[in-house]
Every structure is written in C-alpha cells, then in structure tokens.
Amino acid sequence: MTLFIDVDDAARLFNQVGIRRALREMAGYIEADYARWAQFDKSPRTANHSTDGVIELMPTDDGQQYSFKYVNGHPDNGHRDLLTVMAFGLLADVDSGYPTLLSELTLTTAVRTAATSALVAQSLARPGASSMAIIGNGAQSEFQALAFHEMLGISEIRIFDIDRDASLKLKHNLAAFPDIKVILSNSVKDAVKGADIVTTVTADKAYATILTPEMIEPGMHINAVGGDCPGKTELHADILRNARVIVEFEPQTRIEGEIQQLNADSPVVEFFRIVLGEVAGRENDTQVTVFDSVGFALEDFSSLRYLNDLAQAQQIGQHIHLVPTPANIKNLFQLLDPQPAKASRLRTVS
C-alpha cells in the first residue's frame, strides 16, 4: 500500500502543527539531509522547455529511499487563473522499488523553499538582522516572510510588486501575524534601502535586473529565489561578481541560477560545506552574500520525508493501491475481466 497525501491532507497537516512550526521543522529535515551530502545520488534536474514555460523532473536517493518531484514553471498561467508553479512527488523504497508515498508538492514546495531560504540565511545574514525586503509578492511571499520571522526573528517586512494587488494580498494575509510589521513600498529601490535581507521572488521567465549594484549596501544578504531556469535571472551580474555566492548544487545552478551570467570558473560555495563546518557562511559584517537558490532535489527528498513522518504521526492521508497485488505475481492479467458482454458496451477508442 502507498500513502497518498492530497492538497487537503497537506493543508490539514500544516494547519494542525501550525505553519511557523512546520517551516522550522522542515528546515531541520533539510539541514539533516545536507549533512549527509555524500550519501546522495546527485544530478541536475531534467527540464523540458517550451515557449510558455518549463516542466521538470527532480530525482535523488540516499541509497535507502528514492524520491522525485514533477514541477512546472509557467509565468503566464496567472492570466488563465492557473498557478504558475505546481508540483507532486513520490518517495520509494530503493531495495524493492515500491512507492511508499505519493503526495502533492505545490503547497509543500512553498514551505520547503521558504524553509531552505531561512535555513541558509541563518549562516549568511549578518547578526542582529531585523528587516527584510520582499520583491515579488506572489504565492511564495507569505511563506518567505513567515520563515524569516520564525527562524531569524525578522520583524519588519518591506514589500513591492509591480502588481499592487499582489502586495495588498500579502499585507492582508500577514495581518494575521501582528508581530510582523509590513510596509508597502512604491519601488524596488524604496523597499531595499536599509534592509538587512532582500528576497527576490519574481515569476517572469526573462533575463531581468530586479536588483542593480547601486541598490546594494554593505552587509546585505540577498536571497535570490526567482531566477531558477535558463534565461531567467533577477540580479545584475556585477552584484554576483562582488559578493560571496552560495549555491545548492553547483552543476545545476550553473545552468539555471543567477550565476548562468558568469564565467564557469566564477567562485561559489556549495551550502553543504557550510552545514558540515568546512567553511564559514559570512566572513565579516560588511560582506554582501547571495544565496543563488534554484531548488534542489535533496530538499524535495527532505520535504517528502517530513510529510511522511508528519502524516504517520497525525494519522492523515489515505492508503491507495498504486501497485497491483495479484495473487499470482506472474499473472497480472488476472486483474482484468475480459468478459465480451461488458466490453461490448464500451465505445471504441480511435
């Protein structure tokens, strides 16, 4: 039997434990798996690009469990009242190949992306950081705000989006958390001025320059989330040249991240090295740091592990027959009913 978690189940799980606790716990699972970096089979995701977007598969395994995520990115979907990003995924037993968990990952990816951002920022943001700008106020923005508030104590959020309604939506949703001060800004420049942390999470599939060098102040940490496929960036290349850049898995980020703008030998640090204590995150209080976040399969592996454990503990989800279980494993045909009388009532498919 395979445990199945649909969107309603995932929402119930996160509501039951509380979204801020879920973000913190998810980050713990992600950090634990980055600490086991050498155990994972790692590869860049497989991407199928079209003029309208991209569909990707993100697989990995640690020798005991295997996972994959199916995820899309279609920036124009909003005009059709569709999500620009949606996902689902699977966790399986490596020894048998049998699936143990099939789950929605749209809501869960929003949680894991924000949890990863805040986890990395704990090592990269300067001590005492209290303010953050969020540029791009779509579906990921609330999760980013809550993760940074929960895990770094960020109490002031400055927000900007070219779609004013998106910013008003974010401000309305964060009103449920009165310990977070939300400031509507009139431009990117106004939002980032004086901010300790800047999160960019825009959706356009284009070479964009949301942040330019003159906006960057000493000691800033930039959490670059939106540039996550070939031909899609948010930062001016000179920002990267003058910053300490942290990535998840360098071979993938070279293809999809902000550093696709740079030479192949430009220096970057993979996050697992910080987790293992091999290198420091931030070297001094005036250094500009960038997390070039594109999302990596290990993080989805972690989120599926977390969902599975949470669902078992809360007894949420349903068990489904995703794999046949015939009495005779060599007789798969026995599951069918080849009665001509029943078949004749079906219309021919042509």
Q: Is the Cα torsion angle 70, 76, 79, 84 positive or negative in sign?
A: positive
Q: Which of 64, 317, 116 is nearest to 228 (CA)?
A: 116
Q: How many CB atoms sit inside 10 A of residue 62's CB?
A: 18
Instruction: Report the amino acid identity of residue 291.
Output: F
Q: Which of 299, 292, 301, 286 is nearest to 127 (CA)?
A: 286
Q: Which of the following is catalytic: 9, 161, 228, 292?
A: 228
* Pairing status of strand 54-61 against strand 65-73: antiparallel
Phi, psi of 181 (to 5 degrees): -90, 125
Alpha-carbon distance of 296 to 68, in angstroms, equals 11
Q: Is 52 a catalytic residue?
A: no
Contacts of 247 (CB under 8 A, 6+ apart): 253, 257, 259, 268, 269, 270, 271, 291, 292, 294
Q: Chain centroid to CA 48: how far?
A: 19
Alpha-carbon distance of 103 to 93, in angstroms, equals 15
Residue 81 tokens read as 């009242």
List active site positions: 228
